[in-house]
Structure formats: structure tokens, C-alpha cells
Structure 1
């Protein structure tokens, strides 16, 4: 589930990046949100291929941090009016959902009985 959601999120982030560059000619923030946004799913993929529980948790933790960073950039894009509020809010909601899922998995991994 999280694997597909993060992949779909990455596709939306790529489209957002292209739109920002074409419409606003804003390259710095576009690059930042692209890097962190597609990294969420890439680190989930790495976690799936982890060699140990510790490695799995470490990769998921990186994915969570990248999602937090992406959340920041999306809010900045919205509040600076570089992107439309509706689009930004939709992406922020998707990002929040990923944060909840990844956070829940990490919390479960911290439980010694799991």
C-alpha cells in the first residue's frame, strides 16, 4: 500500500515540478520539492529490499524525513502563491497520508513485541 501511494505521489511531484518550471520559472524550489518528493518512494523501495530489520527501519526513517521536507516545500509553494491553493492542498494531503503511514510503521518497529 505505502509502496504504491509513494509511487503515485512521486508521479504527481514530477508533474508539479514541470508545471512550476513552465508557469513560474521557479527553478530552485521546483528542484528541491522534486528531489525530496521522489526520494520518499525511493527510500521505501530500498526499505523493502533491506537486509535487516534495523536497515528497514533506517530506510523508512529517511523516507519519513524526506516526506517532512516535501511537506515544507509544498506549504512554501502554496503560501508564496507559486502554485494554486487547491493543487497544493491536495499534494499536502497526500504527503500527510504518507507521513501517517510511514510514521505508523516506524512506531510499530520500535515496539519490541512486534
Structure 2
């Protein structure tokens, strides 16, 4: 599947896919708690990217992009914690989301690095 070039769309789809995964998981204490955290962090990636596009200063933009990177890293943690025998039937979707979180983290890291060198 081709990924959207527009990062607002891409981060929205990441947050939406994370939610769809959580809706489909079996209910357990770990899934509920890790799912809550994943919903927060994935949504924060999307929300902070939108805010970065509406930045009021370069400093504000840089701050928001760093939050996007941090939240993508956090999303990776929760997704990896959900990757276990209990959730085996969702392993393909988990791998897809882990890969997307990692790609988003790398994109935001590249933006941070590029802006440092200006």
C-alpha cells in the first residue's frame, strides 16, 4: 500500500490504525492499559504535527516536531509490548504499525537534524 506524502494525512491514518487495532484486541488488563497509552501517543503524533504546521515561531515548530518524534518513539514501545502470544492473531497488523511508527520517528528525526544544520 502506498503511503500518503502529506504527513498530516499519514499521521492521522497512523493514529486511526492504532485505534482500529485496539478495538480488535481481546480484553485483558495489559491490552487495555497498553492500548490506552498507544491511543494517547499515536494521537499526539498527529495532533502535534498539525500544530507544527500552525506554528507561531521557528522555535515552536522545532518543539512540536521534537514532540512528534518523542510520541512516535513512545508509540513504538506500546506496540512492541502488545506484540505477544496473547495477541498473536494480530501480529501482521502490529508489525505494520511498528514499521509505520519507526518510519515516522525517522522522518521527524530527519526534520530535526535538517533544521539544526540551518
The answer to whether the Cα contact below 8 Å between 1:24 and 1:82 also exists between their aligned partners in 2 is: no
2:83 alignment partner, SS class: helix
Aligned counterpart in structure 2 of residue 77 of structure 1, from 79, 82, 100: 82
1:54 alignment partner, SS class: helix
Structure 1 portions without partners, runs of 5+: none
The answer to whether the Cα contact below 8 Å between 1:71 and 1:92 also exists between their aligned partners in 2 is: yes
Number of residue pairs matched? 110
C-alpha root-mean-square deviation of aligned residues, in Å? Answer: 1.4
| Cα displacement (A) at 1:85 | 1.8
Aligned counterpart in structure 1 of residue 27 of structure 2, from 16, 19, 24: 24
Structure 2 portions without partners, runs of 5+: 1-5
TM-score normalised by length of structure 2: 0.86
Runs (4+) of structure 1 exceeding 6 A deviation are none
Instruction: Please give the alpha-carbon distance, in whole angstroms, between the structure 1 residues aligned to 2:87 and 2:59.
Output: 40
| Cα displacement (A) at 1:97 | 1.3
